[in-house]
Amino acid sequence: MSKVLKEFREFAVKGNVVDLAIGVIIGAAFGQIVTSIVTDLFMPMVGAVFGGLDFSNYFVGLSANVTANSLAAAREQGAVFAYGHFLTVVINFLIIAWILFMVVKGINRLRRNAASEPPPPAPPTKEEVLLTEIRDILARKP
């Protein structure tokens, strides 16, 4: 049992696992930011442009018991097909996908620029340095 715990500890503290965990946490926080941008900033502007539409409350009741005008109240009354919420989630996804595309595009551009730069010339080998010194000494002799 001790060997298994030791192996698990080695696995858990490897750089890749820790980096992945940090990435997931940052991704979750980034998702909340994008959700807020879409819900609190983007969708109200879209609603204002299209005459006060609020996509988050677009739904179709799937039973005769659903008579409410808001999605939250309708969900309490029964099953609903909440296509407005789905549209909001799709817009969230598109924004996140676009941002990630732009990030990857920028990283690829940086990699291409770094790859296109010629590598610095290699320093002379010990033999070349020694031969250069011998040449210089011979050139100084009359």
Q: What is the pLDDT of residue 127?
A: 92
Contact 78, 61 (CB under 8 A): yes
Is residue 113's pLDDT more than 90? no
Integer Cα distance of 142 and 139 in angstroms: 8
Distance separating alpha carbons of residues 42 and 35, to the nearest angstrom: 10
For the segment 84-93, the average pLDDT, to the nearest whole number, is 82
Rounded to 5°, the CA angle 30-19-31 comes to 10
Query: What pLDDT score was predicted for residue 55?
Result: 74
* Mean pLDDT for the stretch of residues 70-98: 84
Collapsing DSSP to helix, strand or coil, 80 comes out as strand
How many other C-beta atoms are found inside a 10 Å radius of the C-beta of residue 43? 20
Dist CA 128 CA 142 (whole Å) = 23
